[in-house]
Amino acid sequence: MKTLPNLVFRSTLLMSFLMVLICLALTRGATLANSNQAASPASPDQPKTSGCKLSDRYPQSILQWCDLIVHNAEAHDLPPNLLAALIWLESGGNPTAYSASGAVGLMQVMPRDGLAAAFICANGPCFASRPAIAELQDPEYNIEYGTRMLAGLYARYQDMREALKRYGPLDAGYTYADKVLGIYERYRGE
């Protein structure tokens, strides 16, 4: 019976190793199926994806929106990698993402219709002046609108952490802001 404890130990060690690999793959924005391709940073001698100003360490699901992210970030004087971090956290780069609270698109903006129409504030529907779901499902419109919202919050509060707190879900507070800033810090540099 000496081999049974040895087998248990080896099995436990193997499972631990596999869990570490899975955690590493997931924290780099990859799935198990493409962890060797999408999430691996390019080697120093490889050029960035078609001149993209975003860190090439972001997954392809984010890099595919590079032109829209960079254009809108520059138009509103925000760091492009910060917008990329927000999009990655909010939608993972899925332009048709729809949250349980009713937020829509890449930057998860609350629309005036759908589930969000049920949110009532002191003066009536909270999001009555917002675009419709159909508009927010357009990646170009969604990134422009969400970037304008974030830039407006930053101009008002003069602090990006505060602006992100107010951009995110009401119940998330600074936890949301810190997640976005954490992704930004991790992926902005080479």
Residue 120 neighbours by CB distance under 10 Å: 10
**Any domain includes 126:** yes
Are 12 and 57 part of one and the same domain? no
What 8-state DSSP symbol labels residue 120? E
pTM score: 0.71
Q: Name residue 109's beta-bridge partners.
A: 104
Q: Give the helix ranges, DSSP H, for 92-157.
A: 133-136, 139-157
Query: For 133-143, what is the mean pLDDT?
Result: 95
Supply the CATH number for residue 64's domain.
1.10.530.10
- Any idea of the CA torsion for 154, 77, 79, 66, to the nearest 10 degrees? 120
**Any domain includes 72:** yes
C-alpha span between 72 and 92 (Å, rounded):
18
pLDDT above 50 for 78: yes
112 pLDDT tier (thresholds 50, 70, 90): confident
pLDDT at 6: 52
Query: For 97-103, what is the mean pLDDT?
Result: 91
Are 100 and 7 part of one and the same domain? no
Are 105 and 176 part of one and the same domain? yes
DSSP string, 38-104: TSSPPPTTSPPGGG-SS-TTS-HHHHTTHHHHHHHHHHTT--HHHHHHHHHHHHTT-TT-B-TT--B
117 pLDDT tier (thresholds 50, 70, 90): confident
**Any domain includes 99:** yes
pLDDT at 143: 98
**Any domain includes 135:** yes
**Structural domain count of the chain:** 2
Are 63 and 10 part of one and the same domain? no
**Any domain includes 44:** no
Are 12 and 87 part of one and the same domain? no
The burial of 27, by beta-carbon neighbours within 10 Å (0-12 exposed, 13-18 middle, 19 or more buried), is given as exposed
Are 148 and 92 part of one and the same domain? yes
Q: For residue range 18-59, list pLDDT tens digits in order.
A: 443 333 333 333 332 233 333 333 333 333 445 789 999 999
Q: Are 106 and 143 in contact (CB under 8 A)?
A: yes
Domain containing 81 equals: 52-188
Are 94 and 171 part of one and the same domain? yes
**Any domain includes 128:** yes
Phi (first) and psi of residue 52, to 5 degrees: -65, 135
pLDDT at 140: 98
Are 85 and 137 part of one and the same domain? yes
Are 26 and 60 part of one and the same domain? no
